[in-house]
Structure 1
Amino acid sequence: MSKMASLSYKKSQQLLHSLRDYQRHSLGIGFESANILLSPKYHIRNKDLRKIHKASHVGDAASVQQLLRGKCCVNDRDKKKRTALHIACAYGHPKVVMALIEGRCEIDAIDSDKCTSLVKAVQCQEKECATILLENGANPNIVDVQGNSALHYAVYYKNTSLAAKLLEHKVNIEVTNKVEIIQKKVVSQLTISAECAENPCLYL
């Protein structure tokens, strides 16, 4: 049975700081040749985008709302299977994210790289967008085409606040990617650290 982390923000921060360097070293093994690390935002060509994608790209929440009242579907895809929510999260437009969620978008839709909007928000380190998604039921355990979850990217970029936010929402800490990024040693250390935080007397 998978170990699920649901710790307080303070304990999550302590836990992540203690393991960050070890995890980042392990995570780097599988990421060094990945273009996504060098340029996590989407390569946008206007001719490939629908109207709702264009409005989301520039952060025009009012236009998004107007388009949704017309014939535009909130889950329309572009040539790379990206929804407007993917675009808004990649470029850090929380007002657009809220407008799309209120328009009942598919929050866990995947693009051609199997990235959800949450994975994309974390890749681009857009914490406000990621937080909105999590608070509205986004699944933090869906992995992309490389087998990487949002937590993998948060840890790789040393973004402890994003990683802690994921831990608050019961992210699976045992998910492994194609090169087994999260080793059993890390899971063991997480478990021990969590238990120690709860009851330090056990490890004296």
Structure 2
Amino acid sequence: MHKEAGDPEVYNKTALHWGAEKGHSGVVIKLLNTGVNVDIRDDRGRTALHQVCFFGHAVVVVMLIGKGSIIDAVDKNGFTPLMSASQGGHDNLVVLLLDAGANIGLKDVKGRAAIHYASTHGRCSVVELLASNNADIKIKDNGGCQPIKFAARSGHDSIVTKLIQMGVDVNCKDNEGCTSLIAASHEGHDKVVKILLDNKAQVGIKDITGYTALCAASMKGHAAIVHLLITHGASVNAIDGVTPLLFASAGGKEELVTLLILYGANIEAVSSGGESSLLVACKAGHVSTANILLEEGANPHTCDCEGNTPIQVAIDKGYTELVSLMSNPPTERLHLMTLHEVASESSSSTKYSPSGESKSPVSTTTSNLECVVCMDDPRTSTVLTLPCRHAVTCQRCMDDMEARGDKRCPLCRTEIKQCIPIFIN
């Protein structure tokens, strides 16, 4: 088999490695019977047992173990066959290796054990199997990361749930103060975030840099997670040198900028360096984001600690469209209401029908705003329409309206420029 010299899949594997990887038991036994060393290593220091455990060929595993292959052989990075089988998700091979005496608690050079690899790669049944064989479910790697953080960061909700049920601390931190909630929020795994929040994950925990889960979600533009965190008590104006609105503005996350303002974010809050949301948006050249901020009344002449203003930054960077925008800011400002103000206004509205006929009044409780379009079994309003700022429609009805080409608010019939998904508690 020809491979390019630089192919990362080669590593100077021997015929035994290739035979084991492909599950060719006849080739493997023939090689071993001719005197090939059962534990011959490739360039990474891996044996054929390492190789076959990842690819899951049980017959070859039994064959290699029977020929005396070292069960806990470690490669140059401390990686073992048990770690390989756990990463590959092969329960049967994990059982074979444990029955043959594999050490379940061995760590590689990064301090990671087999359960870390199973958690990272979403191997829930392997995690359960390892735990039932006394693997430490709270074991930490060199960075202080427990298996739950690996699972949360990778979006494996079933493993996160299982580890919580087994008694893992949902708020455990790594060496940098990062929790599973911060990791999942950063990566955009909303299902994992919800599971963690439902199990009392603390939204206000900060890592060593001062970042919270809300900061992490705002930085990456994960609007659904921002909803979840705020509705579970995250402070939209937490100040520790930076705010979620600053992150969203710097990243040009227009929907998120609008959403944070709706949740009451202070538009003039500044970083430790005196940078406003408008200034960081201008630094990055985000015209639409800057326009939203200006419509909300952001001051284009506010200075940071070095005397820079948003308009000066735009001039220095040659962003002519931004310069023009701030030289002639919007005369009609949007002044978005907070969501509770939206809820209060919308709760006095009446039911809508395509024929214009009024229906029964909408629920007056902000925790149960009924969609004005649903005719039977009304659903909760979860969509805010802009620029009219009415929160009177559920997502399903909004989708139906869009499919029909109806782009007007069902309440006031103003043309919809933007839809924002919301959760009102």
With the length of structure 2 as denominator, give the TM-score of the two structures: 0.34
How big is the shift at 1:193? 1.3
1:50-94 Cα distance to aligned partner (Å, 9 max, x none): 121111011111111122222222211111100000100111111
**CA distance, structure 2, for counterparts of residue 83 and residue 76 of structure 1:** 6
8 Å CA contact 1:85, 1:97 repeated in 2: yes
8 Å CA contact 1:176, 1:182 repeated in 2: no
Matching residue within 168, 181, 186 for 2:243: 181
Which residue does 2:205 correspond to in 1? 142
How big is the shift at 1:112? 1.5
Matching residue within 155, 177, 181 for 2:218: 155
8 Å CA contact 1:147, 1:176 repeated in 2: no
Which residue does 1:81 correspond to in 2? 144
Matching residue within 129, 136, 161 for 2:192: 129
Matching residue within 194, 197, 202 for 2:342: 197
Q: 1:188 to 1:174 in 2, by over 3 A?
A: closer
Larger relative contact order, structure 1 or 2 (CA cutoff 8 Å, min sep 6): 1
Structure with a larger share of its residues in helix: 1
**CA distance, structure 2, for counterparts of residue 91 and residue 195 of structure 1:** 34
8 Å CA contact 1:55, 1:64 repeated in 2: yes
**CA distance, structure 1, for counterparts of residue 345 and residue 233 of structure 2:** 23
1:159-181 Cα distance to aligned partner (Å, 9 max, x none): 1111001122111223223x233
Q: 1:100 to 1:57 in 2, by over 3 A?
A: same
Matching residue within 50, 58, 74 for 2:121: 58
**CA distance, structure 2, for counterparts of residue 142 and residue 182 of structure 1:** 14
8 Å CA contact 1:76, 1:84 repeated in 2: yes
1:196 corresponds to which letter in structure 2?
E
8 Å CA contact 2:122, 2:159 repeated in 1: yes
**CA distance, structure 2, for counterparts of residue 52 and residue 80 of structure 1:** 15
Of the structure 1 ranges 115-124 and 153-162, higher mean CA displacement relative to structure 2 is found in 153-162
Structure 1 runs not aligned, ≥5 long = 1-44
**CA distance, structure 1, for counterparts of residue 243 and residue 174 of structure 2:** 22
1:128-173 Cα distance to aligned partner (Å, 9 max, x none): 1111111111111101111011111212222111100112211122
Q: 1:156 to 1:182 in 2, by over 3 A?
A: closer
Which residue does 2:162 correspond to in 1? 99
1:133 corresponds to which letter in structure 2?
L
2:242 corresponds to which letter in structure 1?
E
Which residue does 2:391 correspond to in 1? none
8 Å CA contact 1:148, 1:176 repeated in 2: no
1:175 corresponds to which letter in structure 2?
A
Structure 2 runs not aligned, ≥5 long = 1-77, 80-107, 246-260, 268-335, 347-425
3-state secondary structure, aligned to 2:338: helix
2:148 corresponds to which letter in structure 1?
L
In angstroms, what is the RMSD of aligned CA positions? 2.5
Question: Which structure would you say has the larger Rg?
Answer: 2
3-state secondary structure, aligned to 2:221: coil
1:104-144 Cα distance to aligned partner (Å, 9 max, x none): 10100011111000000011111111111111111111011
Q: 1:182 to 1:167 in 2, by over 3 A?
A: closer
Which residue does 1:7 correspond to in 2? none
Identity %: 21
1:194 corresponds to which letter in structure 2?
L
**CA distance, structure 2, for counterparts of residue 83 and residue 182 of structure 1:** 27
2:217 corresponds to which letter in structure 1?
A
1:180 corresponds to which letter in structure 2?
V
3-state secondary structure, aligned to 2:176: coil
How big is the shift at 1:195? 4.1
After the TM superposition, which segments of 4 or more aligned residues of structure 1 sit over 6 Å from their partners? none
**CA distance, structure 2, for counterparts of residue 117 and residue 182 of structure 1:** 19
